[in-house]
Homo-oligomer: A and B are copies of this chain.
Amino acid sequence: MSQVLFQQLVPLLVKCKDCEERRGSVRVSIELQSLSNPVHRKDLVIRLTDDTDPFFLYNLVISEEDFQSLKLQQGLLVDFLSFPQKFIDLLQQCMQEHVKETPRFLLQLTSSAALLDNSPVFLNVVETNPFKHLIHLSLKLLPGNDVEIKKFLAGCLKCSKEEKLSLTKSLDDVTRQLHITQE
């Protein structure tokens, strides 16, 4: 079972090898997956996708144990279950600041290689104050392999087909109403 906590197109700054720093946007999804097999556990899944590039997929799965090392490593003060909302707050801060000329909060996507080069990327929430760049959070995401991309695309296709079906029904309804009204 999976609970979608956040799924939005988020503007960010892309920095990767052999490409100029550029503004872009990615769809950030945050899901809480409940697994009951073999033991009852929850995983936090963070996924980056690009609506214009079907093969762009980066994932990070954080279990409760993983979170303990992330917490230690980045000096976080929240627990596993409060973390998603704090992360969402940071993302929303970045989205609000994005329209400003000198945004205080900025989301960065950085890679030491070219994007889609099968290398990990870092998603950083950076605050810029007059003194320095403060990294509030830095998450390492791994590129999806062919099997993961295949499954992700099958899911997108299912949604798209359902939306098409619903649009077709609405169009039929409205067309019928129009004909009745015109008679």
Interface residues of A (CB under 8 A from B): 54-55, 145-147, 149-150, 153-154, 156-158, 160-161, 163-164, 167-168, 170-171, 174-175, 177-178, 181-182
Contact = CB atoms under 8 A, between A and B. Distances in A.
Contact of A178 (B154, B158, B177): B177
Contacts of A170: 171
16 contacts: A54-B153, A54-B158, A146-B146, A146-B150, A150-B153, A153-B153, A153-B154, A153-B157, A156-B157, A157-B157, A160-B160, A160-B164, A164-B164, A164-B167, A167-B167, A167-B171
A142 to B, nearest CB: 17
A168 B170 CA distance: 10
Nearest to A158: B54
Contacts of A175: 174
A145 B167 CA distance: 33
Given A167-B171, A174-B175, A54 B154 contact: yes
A125 B164 CA distance: 34
Contacts of A156: 157
Contacts of A55: 150, 154
A164 to B, nearest CB: 5
Contacts of A161: 160
A158 B145 CA distance: 20
Contacts of A181: 178, 181-182
Contacts of A167: 164, 167-168, 171
